[in-house]
Amino acid sequence: MRSKNRIVLTFDICSSTKIVQALKANDQLVGWCNLIKKMEQYLIGLQGKKWCDIYKFMGDGWIVFVKSGINGNGLLDELTELEEYYDQLFYECVMKRLEIVIPMQGLTYGVDSGSVQSVKLHTGVEYIGRPLNISARLQSAIKDKDKFPMGKVLFSPQAYYLLFTGLGLTSKFKVIGVKRKLRNINNDEDYICRKIILNEDNPHLKINIKRAHRPLTKTRDDE
């Protein structure tokens, strides 16, 4: 078993269950399959030349390892591009096949860092470690106290320090300190993390979010 420090990013497709159910009802699941395949192809294209290595597909999202050479603002740029690409795919592969309005459309992200161990199993190499659990729980916890979680990232304190503070960087997007309860983490007490909103300062994403959620009601974000 080999151990290595990794930055782990988990991201998930919002409203995946509703999307699949709606497409299945119309006998249009091919749209979901096409979206997943094209997202996978996009991520594969990033391996070896950009910012991440794919670890695992989780049914409606992915776990990837962020490469050590990238800083926090570089990662935010890549996630913004990923969000824009997903938005394009959603309208191309899914939206035209739906007969209902999907209330939330986009991606949510969780980031943690720390020691990850590789383990050889009969199915291949797998990974274990706290950062995998934390990043997944952060990604899921974005929806807590937030009616519109799409296009938002939760960073653990150590990941934020590694990608920003420790490098003397300030995030190019607004950072909000938030508390979340992560299941079976920190004794189920409040876990302090950093939320960054990718779409707040991005005209392209703001336009598409308005288009996907008419009418868009302004909500007071948690502090």
Pick from 58, 106, 74: which is nearest to 66 by CA?
A: 74
Domain spans, the chain: 2-212
Q: What is the pLDDT of residue 209?
A: 46
- CA atoms within 13 A of residue 117's CA, in its CB half-sphere: 8
Model confidence over 52-95: pLDDT tens digits? 999 999 999 999 999 988 999 999 999 999 999 999 999 999 99
Q: How confident is the model at residue 221 (pLDDT cuts 50, 70, 90)?
A: very low
Predicted local distance difference test score (pLDDT) of residue 202? 55
- Confidence (pLDDT) at 201: 54
pLDDT one-digit tens code per residue, 14-29: 999 999 999 999 899 9
pLDDT in tens, 165-214: 999 999 999 999 998 888 777 777 888 999 999 966 555 454 444 444 43
pTM, full prediction: 0.86
Give tens-digit pLDDT for 86-144: 999 999 999 989 888 887 889 999 999 999 999 999 888 899 999 999 999 999 998 88
Helix/strand/coil (H/E/C) assignment for every residue in 122-145: CCEEEEECHHHHHHHHHHHHCCCC
pLDDT at 65: 96
> What fold is seen in the domain 2-212?
Alpha-Beta Plaits (3.30.70)
CB 139 within 8 Å of CB 10 = yes
